[in-house]
A and B are shown apart, each in its own frame.
Chain A
Amino acid sequence: MTDAVLTQPRRLGFARRVIDGGGLWPAVPALVYLVLFMVLPIITLLTFGFVTIDRGAITDGGFTLTHIAGVLGDPLVWNLMWRSFWIAVVSTCLTLVLAYPIAYAYGHLKGVWRTLLLVAIISPLLTSALVRTYAWIVILGGRRGLLNQTLLSLGVIDQPLQILNTSTAVVMGMTQIHLPFMILPLLAVLSERDRRFEEASLNLGASQVETFFRVTIPMTMPAIVAGFALVFAVSYTNFIIPQLLGGGNYSTLAVQVYEQTIVVLDWSRGAALATLLLTTCFAFVLAIVSVGGRLTRWSEVRR
């Protein structure tokens, strides 16, 4: 079998070496690209929080903690961070509650229904988040909003509900928009799980509900943790949804980062806030993953 390979000449041309595989070569353009256009920019971003910037130039060149201290000493920043955090937590939990049944149902469907469900899950993923946020403005907006129109005409309420421009609207929008991010990891694990564990549980006399909570959910814990961390991160750092559904006065930490850099043009403060956003986000994700790791031990022990 190896004869043909062995009789190949040892000398390999450059093009061959690149294609042949086995080497790091083919990845070099991508590595250089990421270093130039991702790593260097992010280093710049982190640096800008520690120097004073005016019109994109460092003014005195000196290292200063003023901006970071100013951000950390500002009670408003802490309030906004708290708001970003709980909005992300609430919407991530809601996402999980809504996503799990859909991913579970997918495993029990066959044929055309399975395909249709998959289309329902994937199509929002490929639709612009802006378009989907706009849909929520249409649904929740003012007296003419669809929700109010419907509820008023049905006589359920006699005063239009004020949902748009509140935290409720932001949470609703985030939950719906990030739903596919939670469904997909669950789907992969749930459709490949070993059903014999559940069957054993049923045979041993457990009810289906008990089996679901004590066998199925622990089995899929790694996917739950992965989905939870991902959706938390995208919710915590999203600034479009709070801006559009929360109204002009509504702000979160991510919205502040946008406003300081683009509207106020205070880049040092913007950079300091962005650094805070990024580090707290990573800290929260690490916390989720480590707590999740403890919860996952169940499935590892029994496997």
Chain B
Amino acid sequence: MTRPIKASAGHVMLPIDRIARWVLIAVTAFSILLLIGPSLIVIAISFEPRAYIAFPPSGFSTRWYQAVFANQQLLDSILVSVRISLAVMAICLMIGVPAAFASIRGTFRGRAALNAFLLSPQMMPGMVIGIASLFFGAYIAFRASDLMLILSLSVFCLPFVVRIVMARLADLDPLLDEASANLGAGKLETFARVTLPQLAPALCAASAFTFIEAFDNVTVSLFTSDVRARPLPVELYYLVQFDSSPIIAAISSLEIGLSFVVMLIIAKAVGLERLGR
């Protein structure tokens, strides 16, 4: 391995390089603004005291947050979403974690095919998973319901768990398992006391990620959710089409807050950089 050379030291900056540098800085700044600006605007207008949206807000009031918590229909839909997301999380962990084990530690032929199949729901647009579930359900006389929503969202979310757990498993040092075996621990004991604790951060991140993906999902939910007990994203989807009062900004800000909580959990557990891999 050669020693890395200090970048750009001693190189002449040509005029074109100077211009390019400024273009790069400008586009980067614009992209950052584009990434976070809209969310900040939504948070700002959620504190609007009047009944229509304005930026900057004409004052400061929490009346729209109070309106959210006074709205039984919205509260019900939040409860539906929480319940469903927890169920999706449970299913995905139960089937996804062992699958990740087989995928990483497996010694059988066709491991690559297994990998591809486990991650294949990612290739499917949410809408296709939603419509396919709806049609299949209708074919076997099974209506759109909470159960159908949970089952279809779990298909959608499974790859997230598999990917995050697989990444962590691949990083684990197999020597630790061997050491445990050499010290006399059985396979089960090694799993429970050596492998599982090392895996805990990944499980934590995978749970948080799956929860928020299920909680926010609209493309699958629109097709498979119960019409009488709409989850929050579906409720919000109809609200956005017909209403633009700051109450939507207030719900949105709450969702943005939730996404920050999830981000903190993931950052603490495995680090944000991992999410990009």
Q: Footprint of B on A, CB under 8 Å?
A: 1, 3-5, 8, 12, 15-16, 18-27, 29-31, 33-34, 37-38, 40-42, 44-45, 48, 55-57, 97-99, 101-102, 104-105, 115, 117-139, 141, 144, 146, 149, 176, 179-180, 184-185, 187-188, 195-196, 198-199, 202, 207-209, 212, 233-234, 237-240, 243-244, 254, 257-258, 261-262, 267, 270-271, 274, 277-278, 281
Q: For the complex, what is the distance from the CA of A258 to the CA of B244, rounded to whole Å?
A: 23
Q: For the complex, what is the distance from the CA of A57 to the CA of B259, rounded to whole Å?
A: 41
Which of B38, B42, B263: most chain A Cβ within 10 A?
Answer: B38
Q: Which residue of B lies closest to A285 (CB)?
A: B123
**A169 shortest CB reach to chain B, Å:** 13
Contact B187 A133 (CB under 8 A): no
Contact B38 A196 (CB under 8 A): no
- Is B101 part of the binding interface, using a Cβ–Cβ cutoff of 8 Å? yes
30 interchain pairs, CB-CB under 8 A: A5-B178, A19-B187, A21-B106, A23-B108, A26-B99, A26-B102, A27-B102, A27-B103, A29-B99, A30-B96, A33-B155, A38-B121, A42-B132, A45-B132, A55-B138, A97-B27, A101-B28, A105-B24, A123-B260, A128-B216, A135-B252, A137-B244, A138-B45, A149-B54, A179-B31, A199-B7, A208-B11, A208-B21, A258-B127, A278-B128
Q: Footprint of A on B, CB under 8 Å?
A: 2, 4-5, 7-8, 11, 13-14, 16-17, 20-21, 24-25, 27-28, 30-32, 34-36, 38-39, 41-42, 45, 52-55, 91, 94-96, 98-99, 101-103, 105-108, 114, 117-118, 120-121, 123-125, 127-129, 131-139, 141, 151-152, 154-155, 158, 162, 178, 181-182, 184, 186-188, 191, 209, 212, 216, 218-219, 222-223, 233, 236-237, 240-241, 244, 248-249, 252, 255-256, 259-260, 262-263, 266, 272-273, 275-277
